[in-house]
Chain A
Amino acid sequence: MSTAQAQMQTKWWSGGKSPFNVEYGKLMMWYFLMSDTFTFGAFLISYGTIRFSQNYWPDPNEVFNAFPFAGHANLPLAFVSLMTFILIVSSVTMVLAVHAGHKNDKQGVIKWMIWTIIGGIAFLSCQAWEWAHLITGEHAVLINGQIQHIGTTVTMNPWGAAANVPMIDGHHITTTGPVAFGGYFFGITGFHGFHVLSGVVINIVMLIMAINGTFERKGHYWMIEKAGLYWHFVDLVWVFVFLCFYLI
């Protein structure tokens, strides 16, 4: 009520104050994230353009159906759902760290930052497993009239349409799929993974600064807030990577 009134009566553009009511660093973090949105947007739209230009595209339910220690069980999207859940939870622990920072609660900030870092590392580990599985998981593919066993890389795609040959050992033989599939998948999830990695590094720096009492001496935990914005952005991008590569 009182803040709403203050908001109405303030002359935001008269100088001497931020017209956005935030400090410089936080505003610039928002603008950086906006530019990063366009970078990721351009990548995903480029992927969409190529996908729309193809008559055939692999079904994500068939490509991403493995789970660690589950052997050859057909579990479509199960592992990537776990990854999504890990990232959402680490986003929540980050919100709680920022919230503790608002209350100048040093122990709270340390506790929730540690959980956020663990979540980030868990996500990266899952991604490493998924990449390794996709690259080394070989499938029988009919290439130039011969059956070859290939994995998914930036130059090879075994996830093509079914080939017109009999099954071998109970496995369907496919043709090669659009080669852009691997390039876009590894390129975009890799770029996102790099963001997660840098987010984890930033969070570790923030944790060390919090433990050393840097923010306590400063009298505020605004740095945690800015790191938090970056971390939530990483989660936000994953929502769209998840949408474009796994769901549709």
Chain B
Amino acid sequence: MRQLGLGLAVVAAGLAMALQTARADEELPIGVIAAQSGSFVSAGNTIVGAANLAAQQINDAGGIKVGDKTYKIKLYIRDNRTDVNVTIAAARELVNDIGVKAIWGTETHDFSVSMAKITGPAKVLQFSGNSSLGAVLDDKAVAEDGWLHYTFQSEPQEWQRSGSTAKGVLSLLTPQLKSPPKHSVVFVGNDATGQYLSSHYVKALEAEGQKVDLVQYPPDTTDFSPLLTRIKGMKPDIVHFWYNGDSTLTAFPQALKLGVAPSYFLFGVDPGIYQERSLKADVPVTMSCVPVCWGSSPYPEVKQYFDKYFGLGAAKGPQSSVSLLYYDYFFWYAKALEKVGKIDDPDAVVAELLKSDYKGVVSPVPLVFNKHHQVTFATEVCMVEPNTSDKFKCAVEQPPAAPPPGDNGG
């Protein structure tokens, strides 16, 4: 009986200590706004998946030590339903009702821009993956009193990505074709992101010596055959599908049936999903991922990342690799908070992010933000052998040093 009493006392003391430890951990509220439903769900799911994994790993490792306190990340995830009004309402809620310190998202240029007009005045950091933010991230916008001072673009500048992608695609496809490719057709959705991305990619292909035709399709197109037939009449050497992975996965089989071109490039389609869906083509097909691909990468840390990412229940989508545009930045943000020693000094955190670097899964060299709050890293381009779904040859292409002629950067 006495032993039982002693045991109970020990258990009680242990519980009390555990409770005390739990009380010592403060909460760091972080918001995530992403499309978990609606037409951008494939991209939106990657933000949520990356946030869940990063928060779990940071918390499991003991949290973030800021000054004499330890903070555990508490995620507030909001579905924007691919609707700008819901995005705004969610941003207001996270910023004003909950008081988050930073927000990750969204997947769409328009939504991210509208959101930045709420996060900026509230001095809440915003990490968005849209490279099209390059159109608005300039000296004035990111200045201390600028409306994008607290916004960071976690995707490389588009001329960099376009340059490395174009180079990688051409170097992989050229040996596969009877003669070096000279004529490319860029087939892209005619929306904000599509227009922005293709404007850079066309210049990048031209810089590589390609004659380029641009064909745009209305967003939400499902029957691509009229446009693809038109493209076939142009006799291209390569058709480049940009940028929406879901649309590409609808259009690509139609192109194969019509025999539109002797080779293809699929943007926004991971090798992993190509394999999952058992897609096959009798011609060489290339894919690219920023930063690294799911389903083919030879790097062990990338494989580990995707095992953990999917292990946590993330959906296998056409662009699961996009999750890496969000994952590393949690750790980088945590590192900046620890360095600053305060969670309520966003200006100091911004300054710290701009002068620090972070070596994550994304890149073999540490990530660095430039003066316009944009990062630089390489692109992985893979080619699947004809008539196979899982035999990939991949290469990492570094971004060019400068924008090609006619591209003003951004």
Asked whether A and B interact, the reply is no
